[in-house]
Structure 1
């Protein structure tokens, strides 16, 4: 029972290590949350999580490693991702001055599609699956406490750690929008600031991705 709990917690930590760091995905979640509310922010996070589920399946099939080893495919993916980020950065900057509107299904679906499109073309997601993701998928065991072997053992490559991994992502994509909405409700000027910062992050990432694409394909 203890081993299952430790493995599940290790999965949660891995999920948070992918979902929590600042970047384009969290910029989209932040924009959707402060401009349209928690449900839209969560929907955007769900889009990114769905892309990770796709990467999980592709990693199991060995396709992720093949893409990483194909420079032309990787370069095209980076370029598409960069252009999408620049496009969404423009839309985010436009939306930053918009009046808050009620949450609706169409806006939720828009955030989901936006985050999914960015995540599925994000080469850094592939890099994560080739590094930390290997530890998630590779069957085995390791001791958390090397000085006390057998006390805290994590089992990798099994359903427990995988469920923990997606639980960690779910924890982030529900808690992060909630925190942003709470802050927005306390400070009226908070939403435009976050939206403009999100646009800046997307724009910088887009320029970086396009430049990386050009250098890769040349």
Structure 2
């Protein structure tokens, strides 16, 4: 049951459509299912990293290293704005049919969203909160180390499976709808994605800069 509840947590944290969701949709429309799903899996992998830290109750990265938090926030925001610019620039060249995406591009799609998701260290606080609702962990108590990890790993695995399930659904649905969309509509979606991602990036940069003023 712990695995199932953790899977629900991973799914629910991934489901709100933010900049990563828009990026997943845009890449699925322009490059196909593999690119969109790789984009989502990158975010799922980062969620898993933060899920592990949250399960262990490690919140120090967000509380004892404020300078690192600010740098990650600003850096991630700048990268989002750059991504938005590249999406808008390529929107007019978006293909009207699905094309096979090279493996090198798949790896790049994975790594960009993995890094972007990690650039928001406050995500760890969300996992700490939701994991606390699942009940106390033996971590940090007198329980044997084996018992600690026996509790932690089902939670972490559940987060990854739940998050990956959401990205699989989003990529699959977008791919199915893509086949019925005219090219002009897909170009409009790409431009809209660029605007939304740029807005998220700008807000993130401003939020980071506000801590320096």
**Does residue 110 in structure 1 map to residue 108 in structure 2?**
yes
Structure 2 residue ranges without an equivalent (≥5): 139-149
For the 8 Å contact 1:136–1:162, the answer to whether it is kept is: no
- Asked if structure 2 preserves the Cα contact closer than 8 Å seen for 1:183 and 1:190, the reply is no
TM-score, length-normalised on structure 1? 0.80
Equivalent in the alignment of 1:29: 24
Q: For 2:206, which of 191, 208, 211 is the aligned residue?
A: 211
* Contact in 1 for aligned 2:39/2:110 (Cα 8 Å): yes
Does structure 1 conserve the Cα–Cα contact (< 8 Å) formed by 2:76 and 2:201? yes
In the alignment of these two chains, the number of paired residues is 197
Q: CA deviation at 1:126?
A: 2.8
**Is residue 92 from structure 1 mapped to residue 87 from structure 2 by the alignment?**
yes
When the two chains are superposed, the root-mean-square deviation of aligned CA atoms in Å is 2.3
Distance 1:75 1:89 in 2: 21
Q: CA deviation at 1:136?
A: 5.4
Q: Distance in 2 between matches of 1:61 and 1:167?
A: 19
Classify 1:131/1:197 alpha carbon distance in 2 versus 1 (closer, same or farther; 3 Å). Answer: farther
Give the counterpart of 2:119 among 118, 121, 129: 121
Show the counterpart of 1:143: none
Consecutive unaligned residues in structure 1, runs of 5 or more: 141-155
Q: CA deviation at 1:84?
A: 0.8
> CA distance change for structure 1 residues 161 and 53 in 2, over 3 Å: closer, same or farther?
closer
Q: 1:171 aligns with which of 140, 165, 185?
A: 165
Q: Provide the TM-score with structure 2 as the length reference.
A: 0.82
In the alignment, does 2:38 pair up with 1:43? yes
